[in-house]
Structure 1
Amino acid sequence: MKVLIIPSWYPYPQKPTAGRFFLDQAIALSRNSNYEYEILNWGQNEYQLQIRHPFAAVSKIVNYLTAKTETRNITPNLKEIKIPHLTWTSRLFYGNIKALVKKLDSLSRPDIIHSYVTFPAGFLAFRLAEKWKIPYIISEHSGPFPFPEYVIRNKVSKKITLPLHNASAVLAVSRFLQAQILSSCSVQSIVIPNLVDTDFYQPADKEEGKCFSFFSLSILTYAKGVMDLVDAFALAVQKGLDADLYIGGDGYLRSKIKQKITKYHLEHRLHLLGYLTPQQALEQYQKCDCYILPSHIESFSLVLLEAMACGKPTLATDCGGPRDIVTPETGILIPPKKPFLMAEAMLKMKENINNYSPARIREICITNYSPPVICKKITAIYQNILQK
């Protein structure tokens, strides 16, 4: 069987984490099955032009003009096919995605297409499958679904509905996202969660004598709840919490967070770590006592799995996807946008930390989210579709 994987985002040298999950899952699929895989890289991020960044757009155009079509083997049965293509906002001529179909005439016909996120990848899969007369599936990850740019006068764009209604299967990463797809597009989907690399994310020996600490990793935006987290931590400290908070990631709220740190006199308690590589993030997961997720909405939450794989309990907002992940055995769920309740949960977590078993938390993660488990579910979908 030959599978063409089409991700909506893809890593490149200037942004190695952009779409990294899609590439990681493709690698995991290749290592956990004997099928032949190809992953399409058209420069999803690398050659995407944005009006609000005109100077960067000029640089991207220059890079595009010198880019070459090429292939490389990532694993013995996973090949990356790079076919450079300029794209832009989907509001203008479908973001130039329709033109990409003609560029892909050189590709050999696969047996099935697996696309990640309905637009642009799912839409491209729809067009290619129509041309090749083969089935395709869509794995949806977006949160919220659909993105506001695809809703016009309360009606979901055909860029979303056409691919979804014609797919042989639609996969959703959580029950929350499954419900959103059904309510907005009247499409049934199958819940298959994200996977986490449980070989990379592993527990480490606990440092003795260190202060209790919480860790959070995200883009510093309002939607990720980082301002709520800072307020909650300040409240908890006022109530007697003796702990440190480490926040990884960067974003436009960094300066506002610094102002709050000064306002609340948390200079020696709240630590902004900035951008973290996967290795640096792993070290923070291993060092912390609890991972905390303050988001307002998440279709899933891979960071919760990464923390669990390291044996850490999690404190998360009940903002969608986390509802499938966090249980009383692995952590605490609280309502989003409620700093007071988050502060209470932080105090409760520290008080009851010894009731959580790191070994059991990791076991639950491996049983439900490890690569062999998730890849088996995905490849079963391929088989069922091709046997019809």
Structure 2
Amino acid sequence: MHVLVIPSWYSSERKKVHGTFFIEQFKALKESGVKVTVAYNEIWPITMIGKINEKRGITLKEEFGLTTYRYKDYNYFPKNPIMFKSFNRRMDKLFNRILKEQGKVDIIHAHSCFWGGIAANYISKKYNIPLVITEHTSLEHSKYVKASYKKHIFKAYNECDKLIAVGNGLKKELSKYTQNPVSVIHNLVNLDLFKIENTEHSDEFRFFSLAYLEEGKGMELLIKAFSNAFTDNKCKLVIGGDGSIRKSLEELVLSLGSEDKISFLGTLDRNQVANEMAKCDAFVLASEYETFGVVYIEATANGKPIIATKNGGSEDIVTSTNGLLIENEEKYLIEALQKMRNNIHEYDAMKIRNECIERYSKYVIIDQIIRVYKELI
């Protein structure tokens, strides 16, 4: 079976951590015996003209152990729906190069409609190849999707052979846009990377949080709640990730006088994330909206209990075994932080990890995906 995977975003020279979860799934598919070829339309902002020292056009390279074709070029029609015709033409050229060099494609699997799923639908219909779309993004909460783009996205939702959401909250949203039935297959977690390494709890309790530091991730709420929850320095909050509001978050920490107990780590690669998960006592993310929430799963893979606000994705993940699910308000977050600190010994690291393995290991998720492929071939 030859599967052409089309991610909407992916690792690049400027954004090396982008698409990490896609890469892990593609590698797991390959390990299961599926022939996987990656086709990525690497779109450069037109504002970067003269600043990128890379060759435009199609490239072929083995990346992360995966045969990867890229079409590198600028978006010459930003914010104009005509750009989709341009992207479709690029994907057509990529597809024909892949067909010539890698052979017949049995299934196309696109990840997110914007941009990849739209072009994937064009190729699927032109060459009569079954199309699976896994949606990872909410249109209701995306700041990049203009109203004029939605008809292209809805068309892909309605015309694909299988539409998958990564969580039940996202499934509910997608069902508003299409008559196509929506299935749920969660993201997988690389359990080889995230393992139980530390079950001892010292007097200094360490909370870890990780996200892009942007509006909607609940970092302001978390910082305020943490500052009010603990008056001494025996509890620490370590925040991983970077983004446009990092400076304002650091200023907030200073204004609250919490610089001795709240620190920022900046951007972390996968190994660094695993290391921080291993070092913490508990993980917390007070995000306003998540389609799934891979970071929660990574924490539980380490046997660490989690605190999550109800955000659409966390409801699928948090159980009585692995943590606390709360309303998105400061008073509830303060209570949850204190409760987690005071009752940490009630959580069983091995039970948390075993539950994670049963629900999110690559073997479980890949088996579900391959069953979809077989149904369509």
Residue 30 of structure 1 aligns with which residue? 30
Of 140, 165, 168, the residue aligned with 1:172 is: 165
Q: Is the 8 A contact 2:81 2:149 kept in 1?
A: no
Partner of 1:194: 187
Contact 1:119 1:159 in 2 (8 A): no
For the structure 1 residues 73 and 12, does the alpha-carbon distance in structure 2 shift closer, same or farther, using more than 3 Å as the test?
A: closer
Matched, 1:107 2:98: yes
Does structure 1 conserve the Cα–Cα contact (< 8 Å) formed by 2:23 and 2:64? no
Q: Does 2:111 align with 1:122?
A: no
Q: Which amino acid aligns with 1:126?
A: N
Q: Which residue does 2:38 correspond to in 1?
A: 39
Equivalence for 1:93:
82
- Taking a change above 3 Å as real, the CA distance of residues 259 and 72 of structure 1, as seen in their structure-2 partners, is closer
The amino acid of 1:159's aligned partner reads H
Does structure 1 retain, via aligned residues, the 8 Å contact 2:28–2:362? yes
Structure 1 residue matching 2:54: 3-state secondary structure: helix
Q: Distance in 2 between matches of 1:364 and 1:211?
A: 27
2:250 counterpart of 1:258: yes
Residue equivalent to 1:211: 204
Q: Is the 8 A contact 1:292 1:316 kept in 2?
A: yes
Q: Distance in 2 between matches of 1:150 and 1:68?
A: 26
Q: Residues of 2 paired with 1:138 and 1:313: CA distance?
A: 32
In structure 2, the gaps of 5 or more residues are none
After TM superposition, the structure 1 stretch with the greater mean CA deviation from structure 2, 174-183 or 273-282, is 273-282
Give 1:159 deviation, angstroms: 1.3
Letter of the 1:306 partner, please give it: E
Q: Which whole-Å deviations, capped at 9, do the CAs of 1:205-225 have from their partners, x for residues lacking one?
A: 345635011100111122101
**Cα contact 1:173–1:192 (8 A) shared by 2:** yes
**Structure 2 matches for 1:1-388, cutoff 5 A?**
1-32=1-32, 34-43=33-42, 47-49=43-45, 54=47, 56-60=48-52, 62-65=53-56, 69-72=59-62, 74-75=64-65, 78-87=66-75, 89=78, 91-95=80-84, 96-104=86-94, 105-108=96-99, 109-145=104-140, 147=142, 149-150=144-145, 152=147, 157-206=150-199, 209-238=202-231, 242-336=234-328, 338-386=329-377
- C-alpha deviations, 1:181-227, integer Å up to 9, x for none? 00233432100000000011111134563501110011112210100
8 Å CA contact retained: 2:208, 2:280: yes
Alpha-carbon distance change, 148 to 42 in structure 1, aligned in 2, over 3 angstroms: closer
Where structure 1 has 5 or more consecutive residues not aligned to the other structure, the ranges are none
C-alpha deviation, 1:341, in angstroms: 1.2
Shift of the alpha carbon at 1:246?
0.4
- TM superposition shift of 1:146: 6.9
Q: 1:343 to 1:169 in 2, by over 3 A?
A: same
Q: Secondary structure at the match of 2:69?
A: strand
Post-superposition shift, 1:147? 3.3
Preserved contact between residue 175 and residue 321 of structure 1 (Cα < 8 Å): yes
Structure 1 length-normalised TM: 0.89
| Cα separation, partners in 2 of 1:164 and 1:68, compared to 1, 3 Å | closer
Question: Which deviates further from its counterpart, 181-190 or 322-331?
Answer: 181-190
Q: Percent identity?
A: 30
Cα 1:3–1:295 change in 2 (3 A) is same
TM-superposition CA deviations, 1:360-380 (whole Å, max 9, x none): 000011111011110000000
**2-side partners of 1:173 and 1:268: how far apart?**
38
Q: CA deviation at 1:84?
A: 2.7
Secondary structure of 1:184 counterpart: coil
Mapped to 2, the partners of 1:320 and 1:256 lie a distance apart of 26
In the TM superposition, residue 83 of structure 1 has moved relative to its aligned partner by 3.3
- What is the TM-score with the length of structure 2 in the denominator? 0.92
Task: Quote the RMSD (CA, aligned, Å).
Answer: 2.1
Q: What is the rounded CA distance, in whole Å, between the counterparts of 2:138 and 2:295 in structure 1?
A: 15
The Cα of 1:98 is off from its aligned counterpart by 2.3
Contact 1:298 1:321 survives alignment (8 Å): yes
* Amino acid corresponding to residue 40 of structure 2 in structure 1: N
Superposition deviation, residue 90 in structure 1: 5.2
* Closer, same or farther: CA 186–313 of 1 in aligned 2, 3 Å: same
